[in-house]
Chains A and B, each alone.
Chain A
């Protein structure tokens, strides 16, 4: 099993109830599979995952990406920085 650290931001953080989490994943596990694992762990994330953006080690990634060992994987809504 590989260890990855998970980060949540904005709405996803509120719904998960935590800022960060450690997860064990199978070698070769993809983002799509990790999303399913996370929804099992944090049921309130169901329905939010399909619209969320994902980064692996600070770069944008998508459902089919394979997660490397010891990765930092973040889940967040489309960004809304800048001004109002």
Chain B
């Protein structure tokens, strides 16, 4: 029997994110829906503080990031037990505008069982607790972008 297990995929990689390959890995014979979120490097920012980005340099504390991705997947499964497969991938290194940097995909038997919400929850949590940082480099110079979220004890 092929693909009968509920797969969890966590990865921090310098390689290109293979969206088709990842979706294939979380597709079971009983899967009928997958919600896929991908974030990419934005070269021109118009909202809030308008600026241009030449590239972003991503770094990660890899073993902890993998542990935190596993935690995010566990939280998703607790909230949406109907989820079948979860893939969470963060690309690191120097990434230029239009390049996908992150992917969260959740699969389920049907689209009305929480797949959209699960993927949304996954990216929001990733940005809170998974130790990845980016340095923004543009015409104005370079600086580390800092998040705002302070994890609670036990997170």
Number of A-B residue pairs having CB atoms within 8 Å of each other in the complex: 102
Specify which of A58, A59, A74, A83 is in contact with B39 (CB 8 Å cutoff): A83
- Does A68 sit at the interface, judged by CB under 8 A? no
> Does B41 contact A84, Cβ atoms closer than 8 Å?
yes
A contact face: mostly helix, strand, loop, or mixed: loop
The answer to whether A80 and B134 touch (CB under 8 A), given A10-B144, A60-B153, is yes
Q: How far is the CA of A64 from the CA of B155 in the complex (A)?
A: 16
A28: min CB distance to chain B, Å: 19
Which bucket holds chain A's interface residue count?
A: 20 to 34
Binding site for A on B (CB under 8 A): 38-42, 45, 53, 56, 58-61, 63-65, 67, 90, 101-102, 123, 126-136, 144-155
Specify which of B60, B127, B151 is in contact with A60 (CB 8 Å cutoff): B151
Residue of B nearest to A51 (CB): B146
Binding site for B on A (CB under 8 A): 7, 9-11, 14, 53, 55, 58-62, 74, 76-84
Q: How far is the CA of A11 from the CA of B136 in the complex (A)?
A: 12
B135: min CB distance to chain A, Å: 8
> Does B151 contact A77, Cβ atoms closer than 8 Å?
no
